[in-house]
Structures are given as C-alpha cells and as structure tokens.
C-alpha cells in the first residue's frame, strides 16, 4: 500500500462525517486515518412501528363511542390504545384527526356488512321487506352489542354534538348521511326494477325514511332500549312500509 503524507490523511479524515459512518457500536475505520479502511454499517433508520394501526383505531373508536369526542382526553386514548402521545400524534395526528379516522373505520366496517345484505336482484325468495329487516338486524346488533350498556350509533351519537364546532366533523356527518341515502336509494330503485317494490314508491323518500328509523334506533339504544324493544319497533314500522 502506498502511504500518503500524514497531513493529507488528517485532512481527508476531517472531511468524513463520522456521525454518518459510525456503526452500531460507535466504531469506525476512519479512526485509523485511512479513509479506504472505513467500511461501516449504515445508520439505523429508526425503530419500526410497534403497533397495529387498525387495532389502535378500533380501541380509540371504543373510547370515543363511549365517552364522546369532547369528553375523551388524550390520556384516555393513550391508556386505551397503549400507544404514547408522540406515537399517536405521529401516526394519526391530533385528537380530531384520530376521531375522524376512527369514525371512518367504523363507517367502512359497517358498510361492508350492509353491502352483503342490501342486494335486490329479483330473487323470488327475497323480498324488500325481508332484506330491510336483515339490515336492521345488523344495525341493532351493532347498536346494542358493543358493551354492557347499549351505546347506539358510534357515529350519530358522537358527531351530532360536535358538528357545529368542528367543520371537519360537520363535513363527515354530511357525507355519511349522503352516502347512506345513495346506498338505499339504489337499493329501492333496484327493487322497482325487478318488481319487488311497487312503482308508486319514491326510492329517494324511502331511503330518507329508513335513515330516520335508523337514527331513531340509535338514540333509543343509547337511552337504554333493549335489542328486543328495538326489533319490535322495526317489525311494526317496516310492516307499514313494505308489507
């Protein structure tokens, strides 16, 4: 090996960013004053995320569902999710952002279940009445089955109070109602197309009526109504609409 002048080696060593070339033990070949000998491990890129985002959102959802948005503190969310504040902020943003993400997860999960039920394709073994009652079975199970005390609709029972003070929550509320109406309007239009629903019914009006019944169930569940009481209400109201 050709030896370089000592001054040259010192100069080259000074130009090396030792903070970038340190290995995990803090030792680098640059200390030998031979830049060619500096073969170091790459810097650690930071710790991998130690939590499952879906699980965090589900746990946060339960807290918001039970306590509401305003009454839920960051300490509540940290305790429920097991994720510290810096990690929550880094992964989900502030409390409002976390609430919106949790509600979005709730909406998507419920929509997936409803899309499996709200199908009217002319099957003679299915009627609009039977399909709508299966829909309400899912809703009632959701509204009454999350805790010892029925909590109602996670979305409607928490977003309504906050919408006037939070534009993002208001927008989410409006979008959710609109998506609900569109889903049911299409369902009822398909029912008319396949002869399962009388032509005189207006799909848009029916969609809004189903939305009203759904909201009513959520409020009653939150107020302590049992699943049996809610199902009795559904049987009577749907019989008047579709029998």
- The 10s digit of each residue's pLDDT in 42-89 is 544 555 467 899 999 999 999 999 999 999 999 999 999 999 999 999
Summarize the confidence of residues 189-215 as an average pLDDT. Answer: 93
Q: What is the dihedral of CA 220, 225, 226, 231, to 10 degrees?
A: -40
Tell if the pTM clears 0.85, that is, is over it: no
Each residue's pLDDT tens digit, 106-118: 999 999 988 899 9
Distance CA 139, CA 59 (A): 20
Token pair recorded at residue 145? 């089955």
Distance CA 95, CA 209 (A): 33
In angstroms, the Cα distances linking 110 to 30, 60, 86, 140 are: 59, 17, 30, 12
Element housing 231 (H / E): helix 227-242
Classify residue 115 as left (phi > 0), alpha (psi -120 to 50) or beta: alpha
Each residue's pLDDT tens digit, 121-177: 878 788 999 999 999 999 999 999 866 688 999 988 999 989 999 999 999 999 999
What's the Rg (C-alpha) of the chain?
Answer: 29
Kindly give, in sequence order, each residue whose CB lies less than 8 Å from that of residue 195, ignoring residues fewer than 6 positions away.
Answer: 122
The pLDDT value given to residue 136: 97
The pLDDT value given to residue 2: 46
């Amino acid at each position: 090996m050709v030896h370089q002048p000592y001054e040259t080696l010192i100069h080259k060593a000074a130009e090396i960013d030792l903070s970038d070339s340190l290995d995990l033990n803090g030792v680098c070949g640059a200390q030998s004053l031979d830049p060619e000998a500096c073969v170091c491990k790459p810097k650690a890129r930071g710790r991998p995320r130690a939590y499952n985002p879906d699980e965090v959102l589900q746990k946060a959802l339960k807290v918001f569902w039970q306590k509401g948005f305003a009454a839920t503190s960051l300490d509540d969310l940290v305790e429920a999710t097991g994720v510290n504040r810096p990690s929550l902020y880094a992964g989900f943003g502030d409390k409002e952002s976390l609430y919106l993400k949790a509600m979005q997860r709730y909406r998507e999960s419920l929509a997936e279940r409803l899309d499996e039920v709200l199908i009217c394709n002319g099957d003679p073994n299915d009627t609009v009445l039977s399909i709508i009652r299966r829909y309400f079975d899912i809703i009632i199970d959701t509204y009454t089955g999350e805790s010892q005390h029925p909590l109602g609709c996670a979305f409607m029972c928490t977003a309504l109070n906050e919408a006037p003070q939070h534009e993002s929550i208001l927008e989410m509320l409006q979008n959710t109602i609109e998506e609900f109406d569109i889903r049911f309007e299409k369902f009822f239009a398909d029912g008319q197309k396949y002869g399962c629903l009388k032509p005189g019914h207006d799909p848009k009006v029916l969609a809004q009526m189903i939305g009203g019944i759904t909201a009513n169930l959520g409020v009653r569940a939150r107020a302590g109504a049992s699943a049996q009481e809610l199902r009795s209400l559904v049987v009577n109201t749907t019989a008047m609409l579709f029998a």
